[in-house]
Each structure stands twice: as C-alpha cells, then as structure tokens.
Amino acid sequence: MVDSSRILNAQVVGCAASHQRLLQALDGITDKQCRQPSLLTGWSRGHVLSHLANNAYSHLRMFEAASRGEETEQYEGGKPTRDAQIEAWSSLSAHELVGHVRASIYALEGAWASATPTTWTGFGIKSHAGGARVAITDLMLMRWCETEVHSSDLNLDYSFESWDSTFVRFELDRQLMIWNSRKSMGLTVLPEAAAKLSPNHRLAWLLGRIAVDGLPVVDAY
C-alpha cells in the first residue's frame, strides 16, 4: 500500500505540474494559432484544446461517480458524444478555449483534492477503449499522458523531447504492458531498433508520434 500511495502521489504532483506548463504555454495564444493545424492529422490546435478540456471533464465525471460508490461511462453516450464535444468547441476563440481548458483543469484537480477512500477504490468506464473498466487510481497517469502528449501535439515549443522524465518512466511501463498484451506469446520483446532508442524517443514511437526507420508505424491514439 505504501508503494502504491507513493506512486499515486508522484503522479498527482506530476500531472498538476504538467497542467501548469500547459496553461503557461497557452498564455497569449491567438485565434489564428488556434485555427492552425496541430501535429495530429485532421486536428487543429483548437481541436486539441477542446479535447484536453473535455477529457478533464470526463475524468471529473468518473471521479464524482466513484465518490458516490458508482461507476459511470467517461462520456455519456460513449465515443460519439466524445467526438461531437471535441468538434463543438474546436472553433471557439482562443480566449474561450483557454478558459475551458483552465476551468476543466481546476475542476478536475478539485475532485482529486476532495476524493475519499471510497473514490480511490472505485472504477470508471473508458468510452474510447471499448468500454473497458478502469481503476480510478489509473486515471492519474492517463490524464498525465493526455496533458504531456497533447501539449507536444500543439506544436508550441514543447516537443516529445521535453516530456517529463518521471512521466516517461511511468508511461513507458504502461505502454510496454499494452504492447505485450497485443502480441502472441514469445513475440513480446520490443524490436532491437526500439530498444536502442532513448526513453523519450521510444515512448514517442509507441504513441505514434514519430516514425523510426526499421520499425512499424504505430497509429497515434
């Protein structure tokens, strides 16, 4: 229990710091910049910001349900609702988008602060993962990943090479578990070319953010 509490605390601190870096990066962003493409195919920076805000509110929804001893789907209505919400806010002004991002961050962090033992032992249902059941404690790293990775997707002087080293360590462990779960027995070892990459480059490849010669292309999540 001590180790799991230490990990949870580290992830709360790390994600909160990532939130602050994001908000600082958005200081002074313009409407024109929000309409420009992000590094994600088909998404403008406005889409990324809309997603970051809606994702925070979706985590808040699961936290609040867990505090009541209930389990709820991340987005009411599932993935279609998620996609519609992202699109709905994507064309808002920079001022409105940043306002939504900020409000959603502090609402979510407030839920972390007020979480009870009942909350932390609860579960939610991930809309974007086939309805998979997820422990509330696992949401911390998932939100940290959303914030770190999409901050680099914005292409505002923050790249995968800037990702927090503690985040990279935690997320690499998670992505390697996912990699192993998708492979046949005996084929779970990462390709040699991937093993030779730096941790940040290896994680960026696993998340579909970079292409590497000699390695298969991974779809961006």
Within this chain, do residues 172 and 119 fall inside the same structural domain, yes or no? Answer: no
Burial (Cβ within 10 Å: 0-12, 13-18, ≥19) of residue 108? buried
Look at residue 141 in the predicted model and tell me its pLDDT.
98
Within this chain, do residues 148 and 167 fall inside the same structural domain, yes or no? Answer: no
**CA distance linking residue 25 with residue 156, whole number of Å:** 7
Q: What is the mean pLDDT of each run of 10 residues along the chain (221 residues)?
A: 82 98 98 98 98 98 97 93 96 98 98 97 86 94 98 97 97 92 67 94 96 90 73
Number of domains observed in the structure of the chain: 2
CATH code for the domain in which residue 74 is found: 1.20.120.450
Domain that holds residue 114: 2-156
Within this chain, do residues 119 and 210 fall inside the same structural domain, yes or no? Answer: no
**CA distance linking residue 146 with residue 76, whole number of Å:** 20
Within this chain, do residues 89 and 186 fall inside the same structural domain, yes or no? Answer: no
Q: End of a domain among 127, 156, 185? A: 156
**CA distance linking residue 44 with residue 92, whole number of Å:** 12
Look at residue 110 in the predicted model and tell me its pLDDT.
98
Cα 60 to Cα 77, 146, 149, 184, 204: the distances in Å are 16, 14, 20, 36, 27
Q: What is the pTM of this model?
A: 0.94
Within this chain, do residues 19 and 82 fall inside the same structural domain, yes or no? Answer: yes
CB atoms within 10 A of CB 150: 20
Look at residue 185 in the predicted model and tell me its pLDDT.
57
Q: End of a domain among 102, 128, 156? A: 156
Q: Residue 28: CB partners within 8 Å, gap ≥ 6?
A: none
Within this chain, do residues 68 and 152 fall inside the same structural domain, yes or no? Answer: yes
Look at residue 2 in the predicted model and tell me its pLDDT.
46
Within this chain, do residues 71 and 178 fall inside the same structural domain, yes or no? Answer: no
